[in-house]
Amino acid sequence: MAEHPPLRPSPLALTVLFMLLGEPLHPYEMQRRIKLWGKDQVVNVAQRANLYKTIDRLHQAGLIAVRQTERDQRFPERTVYELTEAGLRVSREWLVEMLATPRNEFPRFPAALSFMMTLGPEEAREVLERRAAALRETLDDLQRVLSGADGPLPPRITLIETEYVRAMTQAELDWLCSVIDELRSGALSWSQAELAEAAHQFLG
Amino acid sequence: MAEHPPLRPSPLALTVLFMLLGEPLHPYEMQRRIKLWGKDQVVNVAQRANLYKTIDRLHQAGLIAVRQTERDQRFPERTVYELTEAGLRVSREWLVEMLATPRNEFPRFPAALSFMMTLGPEEAREVLERRAAALRETLDDLQRVLSGADGPLPPRITLIETEYVRAMTQAELDWLCSVIDELRSGALSWSQAELAEAAHQFLG
DNA sequence: TCTATCATGTAACCAGTTACATGATTTT
DNA sequence: AAAATCATGTAACTGGTTACATGATAGA
């Protein structure tokens, strides 16, 4: 038995494992299904290089195995993978861990927010309004998907992550609107002088 | 003039640039201030290796420059960096871009949610409850910081990112509670048979 | 037939994390 | 005097993104 290097969980790795639960697949088919089911909104499968690297790591780690190598003359050679015993076990562990344990992934927006004070209140408002507009658009898309406007809806549990994304997007938009209002009304405001003063207090 | 490799924005890179706005600093002092101001909640400065690599890249890219190399005999040698003209310009561009443009960063929780259906409704509820408990704790911490229980509060704009994080955490907790309720009441439920059926419909 | 899109993958590079090192100060 | 923590950094590894390739099919 070969040595299997350890592997840390990632959204894409989890997804590959679960894709193979039902039947063996080749990489492109995994990607196709991920898109078909709309899961490409929650796992980044757009840059396929990452998919291939992830599959490779899973293979090295012994969580998936090569089932066969197909050769259809129209296409390049395709390697079909299947889930191993270890892969089945690990996929469950990862799933529970990722669901139960929140982890700070340091998204870029809050980091940027923490320096918004270097803009003036006016410019800040203008910039946040652009963000709000973009969020309204994604929210519309989500709404359309969830309301079944694009064809009959599958069982609700299969769209639960979309419901989550919608809820979070709506929450961010609400927050943005409230801040924008306060910027407009002047309830939230600052000056560089005031901030320099405060910085002094903190640093001595 | 040397060739400057391009550099993509990241929360940490942005933070380094803004730290140098006021005065030149050495790496450890940047880290110290980031923590002192509580910004370590929104930029990952816990693994310092990343800080050094980021500083190095900013240096290569010509956005920061070496001001001097200090030698205090108590400490290892420390390199002091300062912001360049280009760095000042780029920091503004990045800030506006990161504030105005939402970007999907594919966090792990929604990805995991999309496979929650492979657990039974019972187990799903139990796992989500653990997550909710963890969120309640962070929420308490945030609340304490924002209410000024740890000393006098600086100007509100300097805590805006914390307000954001609180709002998002609260929203996630609310969503979790509603789903947990539906799982408990049976309003949200599924069986493996039903899912297999639906899968068939989609794949043909 | 030209162009777009599907189908498929590789190579090279960029970014982030873990683990390791080491001496000084402060606390117990 | 031992243990903890501060102060500082490097090396090695894991993971993710950009850019490049190439042939097939479908639509205009």
Q: Which nucleotides on chain D have any atom < 7 A from a protein Cβ?
A: 7-12, 14-19, 24-25
List, in sequence order, the alpha helices (H) in A61-186.
85-100, 108-113, 121-146, 160-185
Terminal Cα distance for chain A, rounded: 62
Q: How many Cβ atoms sit within 10 Å of the Cβ of residue A50?
A: 14
Please name the residues in contact with A171: beta carbons below 8 A apart, sequence gap of 6 or more: B167, B168, B170, B171, B172
- Output the pLDDT for position A80: 92
- pLDDT at residue number B201: 74
pLDDT band at B21 (very low <50, low <70, confident <90, very high): very high
Find the CB nearest A114 among B96, B103, B161. B161
**According to the model, what pLDDT value does residue A203 have?**
63
What pLDDT, on the 0 to 100 scale, is given for residue B204? 46
Region of B82 (left: φ > 0; alpha: ψ -120 to 50; beta: rest) is beta
Mean confidence (pLDDT) of chain B:
91
On chain B, the residues whose CB falls within 8 A of the CB of A127 are 96, 99-100
- List protein-proximal bases of chain C (any atom < 7 A from a CB): 7-12, 14-19, 24-25
Q: Which of A130, A175, A202 sits opposite B164 (nearest CB)?
A: A175
At B76 the pLDDT is 64
- At position A102, the amino acid (one-letter code) is P
Q: For the segment B33-77, what is each residue's pLDDT rounded down to a tens digit?
A: 999 888 999 999 999 999 999 999 999 999 999 987 766 666 667
Of residues A81 and B4, more confidently modeled = A81
Predicted pLDDT at A204:
46
* CB-defined contacts A:B, below 8 A: 228
Give the predicted TM-score (pTM) of the model. Answer: 0.93
pLDDT at B30 over 70: yes
* Nearest DNA or RNA nucleotide to B69 (CA to C1'): D8
Chain A residue numbers with beta carbons less than 8 Å from the beta carbon of B201 are 154
Find the helix packing angle between A27-36 and A11-19, rounded to 10°: 100
Measuring from the CA of residue A7 to each C1', which nucleotide is nearest?
D14
B78 touches strand D (CB under 7 A): yes
Q: Would you call B99 and A127 a contact, using CB atoms and an 8 Å cutoff?
A: yes
| Tens-binned pLDDT, residue by residue, of chain A (204 aa) | 556 777 999 999 999 999 999 899 999 999 999 998 889 999 999 999 999 999 999 999 999 999 877 766 666 678 999 999 999 999 999 999 999 999 999 999 999 999 999 999 999 999 999 999 999 999 999 999 999 887 788 999 999 999 999 999 999 999 999 999 999 999 999 999 988 888 877 664
